[in-house]
């Protein structure tokens, strides 16, 4: 472990919070550049809204959202309009600060006028969403699901889902929101970090009981009631794939900025935490995506007033150790070199025997990580135990270098590949991915994330999108109007120019202008094909001239 970093090359770099080391030129890093920014509540909501505009039925698993403060007037107007249409509609909304975590700053409201319009709303923007009033209950308690998803590769896209997850329970019996119970966080908010402070929180040695249980135990219970568990899993897999598809365009822009093509650099992978709520009808709803899900496998127990002890958590250990263990198995850099065998540590095949060689893994902590160092050390010891053996032997009994390691000793993978396995079913959704590819192509300067006016004009000219009805002067006006509005939202003032979201909006405007009679997704698909075709023809001409 290297709290202050290290320059010697390693096979795997395990960073605590985010990708923050530009001096890595090889190996693999457990974080993607820009992931923290991409899954923030506002950025996620914008990405999901873009996909909802294109494919409303496919993306109806994400609650209707408004961004504060910029969309407050729109939020007020739309709620008023819906109430006028249906006077019996009595909605509840949940307000979530953009950079909040562990339930910090979340509150429920019944009316837009209840939003806390203090100075902090300007400095700390938020997302307001429709609150799911009819969740599935177990033992009369509301709960959510934390599923672990491995994004193993961005290009080509490769996604794995853990076969088990955590179910985190509220600690007070659920009632539908009223003005009297809106502030009862232990009834409405499932965050573990909040409910652990409740007197009703139950730490259990069993994975089937208590305030935190395995998701598989919930599935068994639902199955015994006759629920279609296979369909539920299918819906969850669909939700995860669609969400990753919505996030990849932004991630690719960050990736090419930090790790430009053609230059030496690491490959990336990342474990994400998906928080999912089940409705009464078993429809999964995405709550949020966490770039840094907790991997803690113990909890604090108060022995006496002010005196705490760290106690192992069987539920966390069962799920989390398997996720990290199998992530390391899947990203093993020597995996491709193996012949007819599989091993968790680096093998050398000689005389038909496996020779174990050490994996070099650098664990690096930033300042924010030091408070979690103790818990991470405990987890790393558990991983050493599982990685060497995959069985119940002690570390000291592990095979020495040169000894044979029986394949039967290795546990089966807990991570299931869902993409590209199901790529054919979801490839039609990757329209914004192709728009992002056009955006990146015309960025010009490597390392930038924003498109300048010259780059935008070159895009229009090369794709032959201007004509007598849409002059280059109109192109400049479109660029200025959209860029100015997005920059006024305070997205990113580090560099000037058009961000990806602004380019996507401009691209949609161009598609609607050119193909007026088609639905939006057909308009966008048609314009993408036109641009790709004309750019391919231009590339062919340049090759011929060369």
Cβ neighbours of residue 534 closer than 8 Å, sequence gap 6 or more: 462, 463, 464
pLDDT at 36 (0 to 100): 92
pLDDT of 357 > 50? The answer is no
pLDDT exceeds cutoff 90 at 166 = yes
pLDDT of residue 410: 65
Sequence-distant (6+) residues with CB within 8 A of 309 are 300, 301, 303
Question: What residue segments make up the domains of the chain, in order of their start?
Answer: 1-56+134-337+412-425, 64-131, 428-544
Q: What is the pLDDT of residue 265?
A: 76
Give the class (CATH, top level) of 428-544: mainly alpha
Confidence (pTM)? 0.86
CA torsion through residues 247, 253, 256, 261, sign: positive
How many angstroms separate the Cα of 296 from the Cα of each of 194, 311, 327, 381, 458?
16, 11, 16, 13, 50
% of the chain with per-residue pLDDT over 70: 80
**The pLDDT of residue 340 is above 50:** no
Of 235-239, 507-511, 515-519, give the lowest mean pLDDT range.
Answer: 515-519
- Between CA 463 and CA 505 the distance in angstroms is 17
For 88-111, write each residue's pLDDT tens digit: 888 999 999 987 676 678 999 998
Lowest mean pLDDT among 54-63, 376-385, 530-539: 376-385
Name, in order, each residue with C-beta under 8 angstroms of 385's C-beta and a sequence gap of 6 or more: 394, 395
The hierarchical CATH code for the domain 1-56+134-337+412-425 is 3.30.470.20
- DSSP state, residue 409: G
Out of 11-15, 180-184, 358-362, 470-474, pick the least confident: 358-362
Q: Quick one: pLDDT at residue 20?
A: 64
SS3 356: strand
Fold agreement between 1-56+134-337+412-425 and 428-544: no
Taking residue 130's Cβ as centre, other Cβ atoms within 10 Å add up to 15
Full DSSP string of 469-504: TB-HHHHHHHHHHHHHHHHHTTS--SS-SB-HHHHH
Query: Per CATH, the architecture of 64-131 is what?
Result: 2-Layer Sandwich (3.30)
Q: State residue 541's pLDDT score.
A: 80
Secondary structure (H, E, C), 122-152: HHCCEEEEECCCCECEECCEEEEEEEEEEEE
Tokens 């056009």 sit at which residue? 438
Let me know: does 513 contact 470? Beta carbons within 8 Å: yes
């Amino acid at each position: 472990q290297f709290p202050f970093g290290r320059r010697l090359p390693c096979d795997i770099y395990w960073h605590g919070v985010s990708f923050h080391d530009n001096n890595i030129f090889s190996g693999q890093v457990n974080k993607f550049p820009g992931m923290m920014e991409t899954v923030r509540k506002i950025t996620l909501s914008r990405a999901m809204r873009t996909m909802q505009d294109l494919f409303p039925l496919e993306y109806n698993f994400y609650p209707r959202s408004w961004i504060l403060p910029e969309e407050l007037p729109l939020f007020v107007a739309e709620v008023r309009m819906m109430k006028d249409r249906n006077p019996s509609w009595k909605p509840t909304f949940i307000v979530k600060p953009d950079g909040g975590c562990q339930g910090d700053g979340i509150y429920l409201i019944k009316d837009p006028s209840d939003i806390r319009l203090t100075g902090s709303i300007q400095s700390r923007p938020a997302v307001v969403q429709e609150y799911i009033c009819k969740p599935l209950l177990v033992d009369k308690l509301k709960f959510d699901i934390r599923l672990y998803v491995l994004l193993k590769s961005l290009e080509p896209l490769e996604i794995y889902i853990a076969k088990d997850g955590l179910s985190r329970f509220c600690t007070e019996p659920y009632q539908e929101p009223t003005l009297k119970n809106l502030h009862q966080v232990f009834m409405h908010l499932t965050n573990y970090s909040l409910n652990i402070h409740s007197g009703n929180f139950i730490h259990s040695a069993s994975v089937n009981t208590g305030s935190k249980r395995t998701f598989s135990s919930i599935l068994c219970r639902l199955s015994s009631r006759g629920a279609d568990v296979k369909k539920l899993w299918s819906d969850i897999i669909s939700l995860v794939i669609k969400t990753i598809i919505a996030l990849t365009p932004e991630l690719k822009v960050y990736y090419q900025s930090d790790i430009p093509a053609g230059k030496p650099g690491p490959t990336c992978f990342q474990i994400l935490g998906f928080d999912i709520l089940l409705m009464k009808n078993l429809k999964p709803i995405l709550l949020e995506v966490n770039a840094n899900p907790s991997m803690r496998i113990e909890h604090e127990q108060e022995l006496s007033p002010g005196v705490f002890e760290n106690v192992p958590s069987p539920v966390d250990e069962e799920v989390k150790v398997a996720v990290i263990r199998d992530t390391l198995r899947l990203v093993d850099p020597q995996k491709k070199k193996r012949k007819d065998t599989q091993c968790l540590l680096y093998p050398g095949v000689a005389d038909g025997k496996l020779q174990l060689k050490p994996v070099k893994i650098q664990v690096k902590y930033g300042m924010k990580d030091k408070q979690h160092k103790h818990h991470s050390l405990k987890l790393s010891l558990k991983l050493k135990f599982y990685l060497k053996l995959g069985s119940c032997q002690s570390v000291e009994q592990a095979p020495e270098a040169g000894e044979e390691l029986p394949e039967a000793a290795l546990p089966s993978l807990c991570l299931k590949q869902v993409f590209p396995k199901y790529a054919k079913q979801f490839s039609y959704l990757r329209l914004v991915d192709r728009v992002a590819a056009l955006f990146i192509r015309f960025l010009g300067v490597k390392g930038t994330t924003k498109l300048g006016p010259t780059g935008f004009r070159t895009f229009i000219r090369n794709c032959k999108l201007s004509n007598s009805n849409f002059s280059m002067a109109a192109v400049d006006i479109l660029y200025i109007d959209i860029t100015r509005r997005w920059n006024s939202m305070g997205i990113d003032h580090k560099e000037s120019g058009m961000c990806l979201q602004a380019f996507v909006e401009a691209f949609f405007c161009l598609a609607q202008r050119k193909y007026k009679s088609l639905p939006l997704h057909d308009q966008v698909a048609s314009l993408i094909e036109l641009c790709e075709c004309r750019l391919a023809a231009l590339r062919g001409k340049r090759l011929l001239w060369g």
